[in-house]
C-alpha cells in the first residue's frame, strides 16, 4: 500500500500545467487525490510524473456569469456542498456533494477530479446530467515532432525547477543551437491553448466505450451549470454500498410543473450502468402529464430501460435495475413536492 516512485510538479498556473503535460504525456494529473492516491498505493497505476493542480489558484472558484454557474475544477466537494451561491441557485449540486463519501473525502476531493475519474458509481454524474452541465477542457497543441523527446526532458526539468514553464521554454529555446528546431519551438510556444466546452453528456462519451472524451493532453478546468429559473424541484436520492459509501444507485431528478402539467423532467442515474445516463424513457413518460403517484410509479419503472445494469458483489444487475425504479419513483415524488 505504498505508491511506486514518481516525479512530481506543482505548477502555479494552468499554462504551466498544460505545458508540463504536453512535455511529458505519461504524467497523471493530481487534483484532490482521493481517487488517484488509492490507485497509486495499490500500484494499479505507476505514472512517471504527477502534475498537482493544487497550487493553481485560477482553478479554485465558484462564480456566476451570464446565467451560468462556473465551478473551478479544484473546488472541493465540501466547497460545493456549502456554497451559498450553489445552495440558492443550484441546490441539486450542493445536495449531491453532501452525499459524497465522508467529511474527510469531501474536504479533499474535487469536482474536477471526480468528473475526470468518472467512476460509474460516483455521485456527481447524476446531478450533472440532470442539470445539463458542461465541462471546459483545455490543452496545449502537441509539441513539434522534432521536440517530442526534448520536451520530455524539459518536462522533467521543470518538475525540479521552481520556475514558470514559459521561462523554462524560453531558456531551452535560447540554448537550442539548431535554428530550425529553435523556430519550431518558438512557433509552438506562442500557439494559443486549445479549449473546448463539451456537454457533460458528451464528455461521458458513448455508453458502450471505455473512458471519457478527455484527451491525453487535456485538463478539465471548469464545470458549467446553467441557472434555470423555472421553479423546478430537485432531488438526489441514493442507496450506498455500506463499505465504500459509493452509490449502488443514485438518482437525480429535476422536475418542473407548469399549469398542472410537467413542463420539464430530467432523470439521471449513476451507479446502475457502466456509465451514468439520462433515463429518456422515464422523462418522456412524464412530460406534459399531470403529476401523480400513479404516473411517477409507472414512469419510474422504466428507469433502467435499455440499460445493461452492472452486477457485482453488492448488487446483482436485477437488483440494481429494480432499485433504479424504486429510487427514481421516490425521487420523483419528492421533487414534485419541492417544485414550485
Partner 1 sequence: MSSPTTTKTEPFVGRRIRRQEDPRLITGTATYVDDIKKPGMLYFAVLRSPYPAAKIKSIDASKALELPGVRAVYTGKDAASVGPVPCAGSMPTLRVPHHTILATDRVYYVGHPVAAAVASDRYIAQDAVARIEVDYEPLDEVAADPEAALGKDSPRVHPEYPDNVAFTYHQEGGDVEKAFAEADVTVSQRFVVPRLAPSPMETRGVVAEYDEGAKELTIYSSTQIPHLLKTQLALQLNMPEHHVRVIAPEVGGGFGSKCNVWAEEALAGLIAMQVKKPVKWIETRRESIMVVAHGRGHITHVELAAKNDGTLLGMKLNIIQDIGGHHQLLTPIIPTLAVLMLPGLYKFRSFTADLTGVFTNRAPTDLYRGAGRPEATYVIERIVDIMADKLGMDPAELRRKNFPAPGDFPFQSATGLTYDSGDYAKVMDLALERVGYQNFLDEQRQARQDGRLLGIGLSTYGEICAFGPSPATPAGGWESATIHVEATGKVSIMTGISPHGQGEETAFSQMAADRFGIAMDDVVVIHGDTAKVHYGIGTFGSRGIAIGGTAVHLAMEDVVNKGIRFAAHLMEAEPEEVTFENGVFSGPGGKTTTFQEVALEAHLCRKLPPGTEPGLSATRFYEPANFAFPFGAHIVIAEVDRETGEIKLLRYVAIDDIGNVINPLLVDGQLHGGIAQGLGPALLEEVVYSEDGQMLTGTFMDYAIPKAKHMPWIESDRTVTPAPGNPLGAKGVGEAGTIGSLPAIVNAVVDALSPLGIQHIDIPMTPQRVWKAIQERSQA
Partner 2 sequence: MQKTIQVNVNGREYERTVEPRLLLVHFLREDLGLTGTHIGCESSVCGACTVLLEGRAVKSCTVLAVQANGKKIETIEGLARNGDLHAVQEGFWNEHGLQCGFCTPGMILSVCQLLADNPSPTKDEIRHGIEGNLCRCTGYQHIVNAVEAAAKAKAGGA
Residue 152 as a binder of partner 2 (CB under 8 A): the answer is: no
The residue count for binding partner 2 (CB under 8 A) is 32
> Is residue 39 within 8 Å of residue 171, measured between CB atoms?
no
Tell me which of 107, 264, 297, 298 binds partner 2, using CB under 8 A: 107
Q: What is the CA radius of gyration of the chain?
A: 22
Q: Which is nearer to partner 2, 37 or 150 (by Cβ)?
A: 37
Q: Could you say which of partner 2, partner 1, none residue 326 binds, taking C-beta under 5 to 8 angstroms by partner kind? A: partner 1
- Extract the C-alpha cell encoding 58: 485560477
Q: Could you say which of partner 2, partner 1, none residue 10 binds, taking C-beta under 5 to 8 angstroms by partner kind? A: partner 2
Q: Which is nearer to partner 1, 106 or 224 (by Cβ)?
A: 106
Q: Which of residues 301-340 bind partner 1 (CB under 8 A)?
A: 313-316, 319, 322-323, 326-327
What's the closest the beta carbon of residue 36 comes to partner 2, in angstroms? 9
The DSSP-derived string for 277-329 is EE-HHHHHHHTTSPP-HHHHHHHHTTTTTT--B---SS--HHHHHHHHHHHHH
Q: Could you say which of partner 2, partner 1, none residue 319 binds, taking C-beta under 5 to 8 angstroms by partner kind? A: partner 1
Tell me which of 102, 208, 229, 294 binds partner 2, using CB under 8 A: 102
- Extract the C-alpha cell encoding 110: 474535487
Residue 78 three-state SS: helix
> Is residue 188 within 8 Å of residue 147, measured between CB atoms?
yes
Residue 67 as a binder of partner 2 (CB under 8 A): the answer is: no
> Is residue 248 within 8 Å of residue 271, measured between CB atoms?
yes
DSSP, res 242 = T
Q: Which is nearer to partner 2, 244 or 316 (by Cβ)?
A: 244
Q: Which stretch binds partner 1 (CB under 8 A): 19-27, 58-66, 187-195, 238-246?
A: 238-246
What's the closest the beta carbon of residue 267 comes to partner 1, in angstroms? 18
Residue 227 as a binder of partner 1 (CB under 8 A): the answer is: no
Going across the sheet that includes 7-9, the strands are 7-9, 49-52, 27-30
- Extract the C-alpha cell encoding 190: 506562442
What's the closest the beta carbon of residue 38 comes to partner 1, in angstroms? 8
Please count the helices (runs of H) and the strands (runs of E) in the chain.
15, 12
Q: Which is nearer to partner 2, 160 or 183 (by Cβ)?
A: 160
Residue 43 as a binder of partner 1 (CB under 8 A): the answer is: yes
Residue 231 three-state SS: coil
What's the closest the beta carbon of residue 42 comes to partner 2, in angstroms? 8
> Is residue 87 within 8 Å of residue 228, measured between CB atoms?
no
Sign of the Cα pseudo-torsion (239, 242, 244, 248, in order): negative
Q: Which is nearer to partner 1, 86 or 121 (by Cβ)?
A: 121
Q: Which of residues 223-262 bind partner 2 (CB under 8 A)?
A: 243-245
Amino acid at each position: 500500500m505504498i505508491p511506486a516512485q514518481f516525479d512530481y510538479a506543482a505548477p502555479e498556473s494552468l499554462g504551466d500545467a498544460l505545458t508540463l503535460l504536453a512535455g511529458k504525456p505519461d504524467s497523471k494529473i493530481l487534483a484532490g487525490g482521493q481517487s488517484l492516491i488509492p490507485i497509486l498505493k495499490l500500484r494499479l497505476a505507476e505514472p512517471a510524473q504527477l502534475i498537482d493542480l493544487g497550487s493553481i489558484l485560477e482553478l479554485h472558484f465558484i462564480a456566476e456569469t451570464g446565467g451560468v454557474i462556473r465551478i473551478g475544477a479544484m473546488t472541493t466537494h465540501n466547497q460545493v456542498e456549502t456554497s451559498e451561491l450553489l445552495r440558492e441557485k443550484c441546490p441539486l449540486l450542493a445536495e449531491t456533494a453532501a452525499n459524497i463519501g465522508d467529511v474527510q473525502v469531501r474536504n479533499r476531493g474535487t469536482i474536477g477530479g471526480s468528473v475526470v475519474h468518472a467512476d460509474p458509481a460516483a455521485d456527481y454524474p447524476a446531478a450533472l446530467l440532470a442539470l445539463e452541465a458542461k465541462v471546459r477542457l483545455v490543452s496545449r497543441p502537441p509539441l513539434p515532432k522534432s521536440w517530442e523527446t526534448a520536451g520530455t526532458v524539459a518536462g522533467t526539468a521543470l518538475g525540479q525547477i521552481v520556475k514558470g514553464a514559459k521561462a523554462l521554454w524560453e531558456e531551452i529555446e535560447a540554448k537550442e543551437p539548431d535554428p530550425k528546431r529553435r523556430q519550431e519551438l518558438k512557433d509552438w510556444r506562442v500557439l494559443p491553448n486549445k479549449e473546448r466546452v463539451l456537454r457533460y453528456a458528451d464528455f461521458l462519451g458513448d455508453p458502450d466505450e471505455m473512458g471519457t472524451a478527455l484527451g491525453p493532453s487535456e485538463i478539465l478546468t471548469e464545470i458549467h451549470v446553467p441557472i434555470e429559473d423555472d421553479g423546478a424541484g430537485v432531488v438526489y436520492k441514493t442507496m450506498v454500498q455500506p463499505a465504500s459509501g459509493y452509490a449502488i444507485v443514485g438518482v437525480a431528478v429535476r422536475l418542473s410543473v407548469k399549469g398542472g402539467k410537467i413542463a420539464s423532467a430530467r432523470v439521471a442515474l449513476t451507479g446502475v450502468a457502466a456509465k451514468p445516463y439520462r433515463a429518456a424513457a422515464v422523462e418522456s413518460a412524464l412530460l406534459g402529464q399531470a403529476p401523480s403517484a400513479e404516473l411517477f410509479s409507472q414512469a419510474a419503472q422504466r428507469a433502467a430501460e435499455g440499460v445493461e445494469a452492472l452486477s457485482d458483489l453488492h448488487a446483482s444487475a436485477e437488483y440494481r435495475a429494480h432499485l433504479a425504479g424504486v429510487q427514481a419513483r421516490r425521487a420523483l415524488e419528492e421533487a414534485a413536492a419541492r417544485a414550485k
